[in-house]
Structure 1
Amino acid sequence: MKAVILAAGEGTRMRPLTAARPKVMLPLANRPMLEHVIEACIKVGIKDFVVVTGYKEETIRDYFGDGKRWGIHIDHVTQEKQLGTANAIGCAREYVNGRFVQLNGDMLVDPTHLEKLIQHNEPAVISVKAVENPSEFGVIVTEADKVVRIIEKPLDPPVKTVNAGIYLFDTTIFEYIDRTALSPRNEYEITDSMQMMVNDGIHVGFEPLTHVWLDVGRPWDMLDANKALLEKIKPKCEGTVEPMATLHGDVIIGEGTIVRNGAYIIGPVVIGKNCDIGPNCFIRPSTSIGNNVHIGNGVEVKNCVIMDYTKIGHLTYIGDSVVGYGCNFGAGTKVANLRHDGKSIKSIIKGKRVDTGRRKLGVIMGDDVHTGINTSINVGVVIENGSGTRPGEVLMQ
């Protein structure tokens, strides 16, 4: 059994976070989300992987190499142009000679589901999930133990069962990939390939997904995924905690990190290597702090993803935010994270305002952003890489 993991896309909806790296290399609980996918597969005994790369693929290849660090083997194959899921899976055909699991590198999946999936014997099996908003997904119509129809994002969905983007295939799929035509989105869609299999009378099975499944498609989805992963951590301290610091719950502290007196940390929280935390700061649950991060005096951080080499100056507040690499918060920077009128927060994706559906969301900050002292940032603001603010500036969306 092999796993083919698609990791070729940029993740344009995740901009500016993906300006310097592919989406699958964004950190969740201080490790790339692709690593969490690989580890879920390892837990069910899969040791051979094909990772399909494309956008800024060197970051993936440099980090994972041939997989020896995890006791596995990884083949990397390039998708020259991002022409859809069928095209991406087709790139792996030379590395596959039997059944294989196919996953996307930007999702969280429970190993329990993979264990059930690989028990199937059909030529193709699709993972399905019941959701309240099926029109945003590919809808899967089933009958008895097989799939009878796949409908991409219908306006009036006949059922609430959707495609979870996790499959089991044998090599029959490649024949149908070769026959797949361009979709209206100008891509070769694996769901079109599978619909042809159904039309030809091939038994396409399905496996309901009842465990954790999170598709990280938008920047704020990282907060949900990060929280889900942190809920599973076990406390560990490889750094130094001064005697007047307080740690509650499950907290991981990396090698070379110092937590200074007066720091108050409520887990689950993970803090990376060589960080300087405090004194007198408050780190609240569901926060991951990368390597070489400085959090100063009087800082409060809550439910955030803070990436490597970021510095958060004293008297700063950040909540429900995703902060890129190498940012610097001037003293007294405040990030609003709750609309006071009770409505859901809007943010920007690909230049358009979208409803996040969230009542709490702070800032989405790219890499190397610097804020002047006493900067105020309103809810849902997106800040591009390399930007800066003046002292006392107010940022509105």
Structure 2
Amino acid sequence: MLCVLLAAGEGKRMAPLTATRPKVMLPVANRPMIEHLICAVRDAGIDTFILVVGYREKKIRDYFGNGEKWGVSIRYTVQRSQAGTGDALRAAKGLVKGQFLLMNGDMIVTADDIRRICASPAPAVGVFESKTPEQYGVITETDGKVTGIYEKSQNPPGNMINAGIYLFDDDIFAEADRLVPSPRGEYELTDALVPAISRGNLHAVPLLSWCDIGAPWNLLEANENALADLTSDIRGDVEEGVILKGAVVLAEGSVLRSGTYIEGPCVIGSGCTIGPHVYIRGHTVIGNDCHIGHASELKNSVIFPRTKIPHFTYIGDSVVGSDCNFGAGTKVANLRHDKKHVKVGGVSTGRKKFGAVIGDNVLFGINCSVNVGASVGRDVRVGPHTVVSGTIADESVIGRN
């Protein structure tokens, strides 16, 4: 059996983080999310992959190559138009014979769940019990057979959702070839499932562990899950006077300077300088070549590579892109006064604590204040003493420089 991974989309809901990289290359515990999937599928016993790529595909090809580093074989096929998941499936036509696994590339799932769906008769779809079923395609089933799929209904008939993991025979390509554009102008994979549902032979396989990464704030949950069983691994330098509590991973070439206090779980990449006197709280992930300066505090945040966070800065529950530079004294708020769920661009994060989404190469002047729920586009320039709120477009200049 082989696995087809759908990795062609831009991921517009992940903006501004996808302005310079495909969605599937966004980091979870300092590794691209799709790398976690490839490793889980490999650990489930499948070592042959076809990656359907498109948007900024070179990033994926350059990183994974032929898959040898991971002990797998990877081939690529291109979805030119990104015209929906059904169109992405058709891009793999002619490369697949017999039974195969098909997965969306923007989620985290365990090897045990992959084995579970592979043990089912085909065709089969993985389903997961969700607290927000209105955001997904909802599955109804009777005796383990799918009876209906309802896409993003405001009044869903249940809470069991389509997890985007399928086991197919190659006859699914004939159904994909018959697809017509949906009302939103895309070829929907779920429409290709209608004949199997009508025949009563589409199997629903419950998954025990699944994390969707459809919006920037989902990266926080994904990292929290990835770090749940973290084991300490200190390969960098730790100066006298550093205190480490819980599991901490410190990559080679990084240094923790005196007075720094870290509450794990926490992952710090290579080439980083942390401190002196930095406080890092649980579930924080710091990418390669970052600098966190004196008297700064980070909490439950994801910091992409080469970002500089100098002295007297606070960042809580946020996602920060690559190559950013925070002016000294900048603060990112992460809690509304009314304690309600934070919204970003009018969309609820489902989290009472969430700070900001900050794109790549954003420069802040000193003493800036970033309001809860802000979304700051790539290449934005923020003047000193500026209050940042709402959605800031790419390449904007705000405040007095």
Bin of the TM-score, shorter chain as denominator length: over 0.9
Q: Which residue of structure 1 lines up, in the alignment, with residue 97 of structure 2?
A: 97
TM-score, with length taken from structure 1: 0.96
**In structure 1, what is the Cα distance between the partners aligned to 2:320 and 2:108?**
21
Distance 1:151 1:378, change over 3 A: same
Q: Which residue of structure 2 lines up, in the alignment, with residue 41 of structure 1?
A: 41
**In structure 2, what is the Cα distance between the partners aligned to 1:160 and 1:266?**
36
Contact 2:145 2:200 in 1 (8 A): no
1:349-364 matches, cutoff 5 A? 353-364=346-357
Shift of 1:372: 0.7
TM-score, with length taken from structure 2: 0.95
Specify the code of the residue in structure 1 equivalent to 2:36.
H
Which structure 2 residue ranges, 5 or more long, are not aligned? 391-401
370, 391, 396: which one aligns with 2:384: 391
208, 214, 223: which one aligns with 2:206: 208
Contact 2:130 2:161 in 1 (8 A): yes
Q: Which residue of structure 1 lines up, in the alignment, with residue 398 of structure 2?
A: none
Specify the code of the residue in structure 1 equivalent to 2:132.
N
Shift of 1:132: 3.3
Q: Which residue of structure 1 lines up, in the alignment, with residue 83 of structure 2?
A: 83
Q: Which residue of structure 1 lines up, in the alignment, with residue 228 of structure 2?
A: 231
**In structure 1, what is the Cα distance between the partners aligned to 2:141 and 2:352?**
35
* Residue aligned with 1:49, SS: strand
Q: Which residue of structure 1 lines up, in the alignment, with residue 364 of structure 2?
A: 371
Contact 2:279 2:295 in 1 (8 A): yes
Q: Which residue of structure 2 lines up, in the alignment, with residue 51 of structure 1?
A: 51
Q: Which residue of structure 2 lines up, in the alignment, with residue 113 of structure 1?
A: 113
Shift of 1:230: 1.2
**In structure 2, what is the Cα distance between the partners aligned to 1:293 and 1:155?**
42
Shift of 1:268: 0.5
Contact 1:176 1:197 in 2 (8 A): no
Q: Which residue of structure 2 lines up, in the alignment, with residue 285 of structure 1?
A: 282
Shift of 1:158: 2.4
Shift of 1:396: 2.0
268, 271, 280: which one aligns with 1:271: 268
**In structure 1, what is the Cα distance between the partners aligned to 2:200 and 2:292?**
58
**In structure 2, what is the Cα distance between the partners aligned to 1:99 and 1:297?**
56
Q: Which residue of structure 1 lines up, in the alignment, with residue 219 of structure 2?
A: 222
**In structure 2, what is the Cα distance between the partners aligned to 1:159 and 1:307?**
37
Q: Percent identity?
A: 48
* Residue aligned with 1:94, SS: coil
Aligned length: 390
Q: Which residue of structure 1 lines up, in the alignment, with residue 166 of structure 2?
A: 167
Q: Which residue of structure 2 lines up, in the alignment, with residue 326 of structure 1?
A: 323
Q: Deviations over 1:100-155 (max 9, x none)?
A: 11111110111111111111122x10111222332322121212231122222234
**In structure 1, what is the Cα distance between the partners aligned to 2:144 and 2:282?**
42
Shift of 1:202: 5.8
Q: Which residue of structure 2 lines up, in the alignment, with residue 382 of structure 1?
A: 375
* Residue aligned with 2:94, SS: helix
* Residue aligned with 2:127, SS: strand
Distance 1:307 1:140, change over 3 A: same
Q: Which residue of structure 2 lines up, in the alignment, with residue 183 of structure 1?
A: 182
Specify the code of the residue in structure 2 equivalent to 1:393.
T
**In structure 2, what is the Cα distance between the partners aligned to 1:220 and 1:394?**
21
**In structure 1, what is the Cα distance between the partners aligned to 2:258 and 2:154?**
56
Which structure 1 residue ranges, 5 or more long, are not aligned? none
